[in-house]
């Protein structure tokens, strides 16, 4: 299974990816997580990416594409992958097509998770992320067992710098302007499966499995 999760920031892509990893036993490739790790480790890539991330803008295509190319070369992607947060622009999608051609692979499905803007704002404002393993929680909708601690690894939960209301608005605009056109790009290839992203996390997971013919 080689799949892309497409949807606005806060639509639950990362949350669903965590469940899909367990179900399909394939790795998640999250460009947001890769950038946050680079920022934490204060690498040159991280320093460059942070300028854009803090504003809610996209990191330039060539930077993202180079990073994904490196990641896709790792052997664990041979059995499949879940791309989360990539591609986000038409040039990124075209590069991915080329990359996969060279590796003699193709995308099996693009799952579009649809969530209205107002709900996205509610979700992102209450999002908490594990500093250690990147697991996602919500202060109201998906509480950890112990406040401020990750259920999976005990790591500290924190609020991302870019999960502030003014930055969320910019990220949503970027999504509608630059990322939403990918629905048509992949629609023409017959790959898009629409899933309504409202309801419980388990309900949505079930709908995604159904859409993939794996329920």
The contact set with ligand ADP (CB under 6 A) reads 7, 9-15, 31-32, 35, 52-53, 56-59, 64, 85-86, 88, 92, 123-124, 126-127, 136-138, 141-142, 162, 171, 200-201, 204
SS3 135: coil
Nearest to 63 by CA among 83, 84, 43: 43
Q: Catalytic: 189?
A: no
| Min dist. Cβ of residue 66 to ligand ADP (A) | 12
Among the options 88, 123, 193, 207, which is catalytic?
88
CB-based contacts of 184, cutoff 8 Å, min separation 6: none
| Min dist. Cβ of residue 35 to ligand ADP (A) | 5
| Min dist. Cβ of residue 28 to ligand ADP (A) | 10
Q: Assess 198 for contact with Zn ion (CB under 5 A).
A: no
Query: Which of ligand ADP, Zn ion, none interacts with 150 (beta carbon under 5 to 8 A by kind)?
Result: Zn ion
Q: Catalytic: 123?
A: no
Q: Catalytic: 71?
A: no
Per-residue H/E/C for 18-45:
HHHHHHHCCCEEEHHHHHHHHHHCCCHH
Alpha carbon distances (Å) from 172 to 10, 30, 80, 131, 166: 9, 18, 29, 24, 10
| Min dist. Cβ of residue 82 to ligand ADP (A) | 11
- Tokens, residue 96: 């991915």
Task: Give me the residues paired with residue 109 across strands.
Answer: 3
Residue 93 CB neighbours (<10 A): 20
Cβ-based nearer residue to ligand ADP, 26 or 115: 115
Give the dihedral of Cα atoms 70, 72, 76, 78; nearest 10 deg: -140
Q: Catalytic: 128?
A: no
Q: Catalytic: 127?
A: yes
State which of residues 59, 67, 83, 135 lies at the interface with Zn ion (CB under 5 A).
Answer: 135
State which of residues 17, 58, 111, 150 lies at the interface with Zn ion (CB under 5 A).
Answer: 150
CB 106 within 8 A of CB 188: no
| Min dist. Cβ of residue 76 to ligand ADP (A) | 20
Stretch that binds Zn ion, among 30-38, 45-53, 63-71, 125-133 (CB under 5 A): 125-133
Q: Which residues are catalytic?
A: 13, 88, 127, 160, 171
């Amino acid at each position: 299974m080689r799949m892309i999760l497409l949807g606005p920031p806060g639509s639950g892509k990362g949350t669903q990816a965590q469940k899909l990893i367990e179900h399909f036993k394939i790795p998640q490739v999250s460009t947001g997580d890769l950038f946050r790790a680079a920022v934490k480790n204060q690498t040159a890539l991280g320093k460059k990416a942070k300028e854009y991330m803090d504003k809610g803008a996209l990191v330039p295509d060539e930077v993202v594409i180079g990073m994904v190319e490196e990641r896709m070369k790792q052997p664990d992607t041979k059995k499949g992958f879940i791309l989360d947060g990539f591609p986000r622009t038409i040039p990124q999608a075209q590069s991915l097509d080329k990359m996969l051609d060279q590796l003699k692979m193709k995308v099996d499905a693009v799952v579009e998770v649809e969530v209205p803007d107002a709900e996205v704002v509610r979700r992102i404002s209450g999002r908490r992320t594990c500093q250690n393993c990147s697991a996602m929680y919500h202060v109201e909708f998906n509480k950890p067992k112990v406040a401020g601690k990750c259920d999976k690894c005990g790591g500290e939960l924190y609020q991302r710098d870019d999960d502030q209301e003014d930055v969320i608005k910019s990220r949503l605009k970027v999504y509608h302007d630059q990322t939403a056109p990918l629905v048509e790009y992949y629609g023409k290839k017959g790959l898009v499966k629409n899933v309504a992203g409202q309801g419980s996390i388990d309900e949505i997971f079930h709908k995604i499995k159904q859409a993939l013919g794996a329920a």
